[in-house]
Structure 1
Amino acid sequence: MATLIGEPATRRVGASLETEIAGERVELLPEKAMYWPHERTLFVADLHLGKAAHFRAEAVPVPMGTTRENLARLARLLKRTDAERLVILGDLWHSQQALAPATLELVHAWRTKYSSLEAVLVMGNHDAKLDAIPKAFALRVEDEGVVMGPFELRHHPSDQGTGAYRLAGHIHPSVTLEGKGRDSLRLPCFWFGESQGVLPAFGELTGTARVHPRPSDRVFVVAGSRVMAVS
C-alpha cells in the first residue's frame, strides 16, 4: 500500500490494520473495535445491549442471543489483545426495556469473569434515558469530553472540544463501495478526520448510517473478517 507524504503508515497485522491516530499506534480490529497497545486499552462504541429484548417486549420478532454474541466477541477481543481497560464510547444499553432480568444476569456473569478489567462508559444518548445505569457491568461512568492521553472521549461527534483528538461513536458509520456496473456494497467503517474519529457500532442489530468523508479523511471498512483501507 502506497503511503503519501505526511500520511501515517498503515500495516496489516493478520485480519487487523495497524495505523497511527493522534501520534499513537492503534489497531483497527474486524470485530469493530480499536485497540491502543501503549495503554492496553480497547475502545468500542454502541453495543446497545438488550436491544433484542427491547424489540421482543414490543412484539417484534428478532433473533435470540444477540447480547450473548456481543459479550462473546468482546471476550475474544480481550483475550487476543490482553487489554486491561475497556472504554465504551456510549450506548452500552439500548433502553429501559432492554434491562430484562435474563439480560442483566448474563451481563453480570460475564463481568464477574472479567472482574479485573477496568471498564469506562462515556454516557450515550440511550444510556442517559435509563432510570439508572445497571450495576451489572461494574464500570466507571464519565460525561462526554473526558480526556485520556491524546484522546477526548465522546459519544456524539462534535465540531468543538478540548483540543485533544476526539473519539466518538453514535452514528454507526458506513460507506458504500461501488463496483462494476450497478453493483454496490455498504460496509461499516472506521472514519478518521483531521481532529476526530468515529468508530463503527460494535453491537448486533444496530444498523449503519452512510457517511460522506472528505477527500483528506481516512476510512477503513470492515469486510467480514478483515479491515481494509479504502481512502
Structure 2
Amino acid sequence: MAPAASPAVEPVVGEPAAVADLGSERALLVADVHAGIEVGLRYERGVELDSRADERRERLCALIAETDADRVVVLGDLAHRIAAPEGDEREELVELIRTVTDRVPITLVEGNHDAGVAEAFVADLDVIGAGGDVLGDSVGVVHGHTWPDPALLDADVVCMGHEHPQVRLEDAVGGSRVERAWLRGTLDPGAFVEEDGNERDRSDPPELVVFPAFNERSGGTWVNVDGQSFLAPFLPDALPAGDAYLLDGTRLGDYRRV
C-alpha cells in the first residue's frame, strides 16, 4: 500500500514521485533530479560513470504519461552543478527541459543547486524562490535547504526534497542494502519556520512529506543509521514523529526506529 500522505498528494507506487491535486491542475511532483550528476562526480571526485541522462529523461516522461499530469513540479535541485551549467551538463538540461516542456510546463522550486539553472533557463521554467509557495489551495512546496516561508503553514500538506532520505536494511544473515524512502508525519509548526510574525491556528498543522531523490545516484541521508544528521535546518525537529515508507509502499514504521 502506498504511503497515504494526503488526499491532495498521492505517491506513485514504485517510483520516487507523487501526484498532487492542485484544483485546476494535476501535477507530477519529483525532487532532486540532479541532471548532470555524472559530469559532477567526474570533476568533484574523479569518478567515471556512464551517463544515465537518457534513462532519467525517459522515466520522467513516462511518469507524465502514466499519471496524466498537467504540470511537472521539481522540488529543487533539477541540476547537479551549483554554478551555471555548462558543457555536457548544460546539454543534458537543454534536452531534458525541451523534452518535458514539449509535453507539460515545468515549475522549479529553487534548491541549493539551482541558482545557475534558474537563471540560464528562466524563459523555459516557472521558478518559485527558495522559501517555497503554496500551490492550489493546499499543497505547500519547498526544497528544504533554508528556512521556509511561514505561509506554508497554511497548507494542508508540505512537500520537500533536499534530504534524499534512505534506509539501510539488514537481512537475517547479516547482509544489508540501502533503499530510498519517503518520510511523512505531522509537521511541528514551531520548528518549521525561523520566525512567524502572524498569529496562526496551530491546532491542525499540515502534514510534512519528505520526498526520496529522483536520481538514485545522488546519495542521501540514512535516517536509521547512528551519526547521520539531517540537512534541512528544521529537521528532525519539525518531524518529531513520522513513518518511513519504501518506494513500493512498504511501511517501515517510525523513521527513527527502523
Taking structure 1 as the reference length, the TM-score comes to: 0.77
Which residue is equivalent to 1:161? Answer: 150
For residues 70-118 of structure 1, give each alpha carbon's deviation from its aligned partner in whole angstroms, at most 9, with x where no partner exists: 2121111112112111111111111156823344334333433332412
Matched, 1:190 2:174: no
Q: CA deviation at 1:151?
A: 1.9
Distance 1:132 1:152, change over 3 A: closer
Q: CA deviation at 1:228?
A: 2.0
Equivalences, count:
211
Matched, 1:19 2:4: yes
2-side partners of 1:68 and 1:46: how far apart? 16
SS of the residue 2:162 aligns to: coil
Work out whether residues 90 and 170 of structure 1, in 8 Å CA contact, stay in contact via their aligned partners in 2. Answer: yes
Q: CA deviation at 1:132?
A: 5.5
AA in 1 matched with 2:87: P
2:138 to 136, 150, 159: 150
AA in 2 matched with 1:230: L
2-side partners of 1:131 and 1:107: how far apart? 9
Q: CA RMSD in A?
A: 2.9
2-side partners of 1:167 and 1:25: how far apart? 9
1:177 to 150, 169, 181: 169
SS of the residue 2:186 aligns to: coil
Which residue is equivalent to 2:246? Answer: 221
2-side partners of 1:56 and 1:208: how far apart? 19
Where does 1:1-231 land on structure 2 (aligned, <5 Å)?
Answer: 11=1, 17=2, 19-21=4-6, 23-24=7-8, 26-36=10-20, 39-58=25-44, 60-95=46-81, 99-114=85-100, 115-128=102-115, 130=116, 133-135=119-121, 138-143=124-129, 144-148=131-135, 149-156=137-144, 161-162=150-151, 163=153, 164=155, 165-195=157-187, 196-212=208-224, 216-222=241-247, 226-231=248-253
Distance 1:146 1:160, change over 3 A: closer
Work out whether residues 76 and 111 of structure 2, in 8 Å CA contact, stay in contact via their aligned partners in 1. Answer: yes
Work out whether residues 36 and 88 of structure 2, in 8 Å CA contact, stay in contact via their aligned partners in 1. Answer: no
2-side partners of 1:25 and 1:86: how far apart? 14
Work out whether residues 105 and 136 of structure 1, in 8 Å CA contact, stay in contact via their aligned partners in 2. Answer: no
Q: CA deviation at 1:43?
A: 0.7
1-side partners of 2:44 and 2:29: how far apart? 31
Larger CA deviation: 156-165 vs 45-54 = 156-165
| % identical aligned pairs | 28
**Gaps (5+ residues) in structure 2?**
188-207, 225-235, 254-258
SS of the residue 1:19 aligns to: coil
For residues 25-44 of structure 1, give each alpha carbon's deviation from its aligned partner in whole angstroms, at most 9, with x where no partner exists: 51334231112256421111
AA in 1 matched with 2:252: V
AA in 2 matched with 1:182: G
Greater share of residues in strand: 1
Distance 1:110 1:49, change over 3 A: closer
2-side partners of 1:54 and 1:26: how far apart? 32
